[in-house]
Each structure stands twice: as structure tokens, then as C-alpha cells.
Structure 1
């Protein structure tokens, strides 16, 4: 068996708010609970385990590979909520999406400043 990512902890100032935000924007089912975590199950068996943390949260990057139809729905929810978005992770191209590798991508921030990305074409195997 090859090595696969199983889960990752997403530190949050409010795990319920953060997990719900990501679930709603991505159009996923209500987050579940496991111990002290709010758990968001992704389609490939990986879970995001949201946990509360006191003090500053170091922003991380989470990228979600989605279909074209899912991208359209996600992007519509981002715009409907008035969430700022960018075509790049450095936030130098506000109000735009990118078209890397023949797909589409958008970056936006979660409640604790985590850099979230929805993309329709994977970067793996792409030419630099």
C-alpha cells in the first residue's frame, strides 16, 4: 500500500465556526464529532479535524481538488457571501481566479486566516 494522508488537524479559535464555514463553502455535509474535534470528511477519505487552540493561529494552506461543477458552486458561495478572493496565494491578484494547467483556481481565507484554495486541475505532474 502506498502512503496516504489520513487526516490533519486544523487549529482554530472556534472549531465549530471554522468547520461549519469550510463545510458550507465547499458544499459538504455537516461536520461530525470525534473526541475534542469537529471532523470534516473529504471525498478521498481524508479528514480535516478542527480543534480549538488558545492564542495566535499560524495560518496554513489547504487546497481542495474539485470538479468544474463543484468549482462553480463554491465560487458562487464565495461571491454571495462577499468573501474576498484571489487568483494567487500571495494575494496580489484580488477579485480574480487563475487558469493554471487548463483548469480554474481560487484562493480565499477561512475564519482564522487559513489560506484555502479550490482548484479543478491538480498541480502534480504539471510542468513547472
Structure 2
């Protein structure tokens, strides 16, 4: 149903949707899950960090459990973001201080996902994991 488009390693994570999945309400994006964030890390901190490095994410969120999600519309932007993370030891927080982080071991290369607009409310979106 899905063809793999990254490399031939065992760590294949990026998939390309089948051509039969041509719903106009779907948008592709590429995301990365950060873990071990400080509980004070907000979506704004992740957005500000991305913007300060010349990147404009499509979607940013963080949770008090120390998890952050950052998504981009283009795979190249996600790759640039991963390069920035690999050279940056910590992310500055708006409340002061820094948060250290790790990239989720299952998502070292990111994942391709879809956002689906709910027909009943055009401003509502939910995200399908592992397209």
C-alpha cells in the first residue's frame, strides 16, 4: 500500500502515500518528535528556536510530559532543523534557562504524516500518524 522512499537501511520511517489517497482535505507534512524537554518548554519556545534558525514550522506543540512535536511542509526544512539540533546542545526558554532534548529514537529521520480537515469545522485539524 505504501512505498518506502528513504534508503535501504532498517531504520525506514518516511513513507509515500499510495496514489489512491487523493483526498483534497489532506496535506502532507514532515514531523519530528523531541523528548526529554523541560516541562516549562512551550510551543512558543520551539517556534522561536526554529524561527531564530531561519526555519518556519508548519505545526509546533509541546506537552508537560517533556514531549515536543515540530512539523514542516518540506522535507528539506526538516533536514535543516535536524542539522541545527545536532549542533545545538539546548533550546533557550522564554521563562529563562535552557532545555536539553533528545530526538525520539523511533523518529531520527522524521515521519511523513497528513493533516485532515474535519468537514464539520473547517478550522479543525487532526493528524494521522504514519501515513
TM-score interval, normalised by the smaller of the two chains: 0.3 to 0.5
TM value normalised by structure 1: 0.33
Q: Higher RCO, 1 or 2 (CA under 8 Å, sep at least 6)?
A: 2
Larger radius of gyration: 2
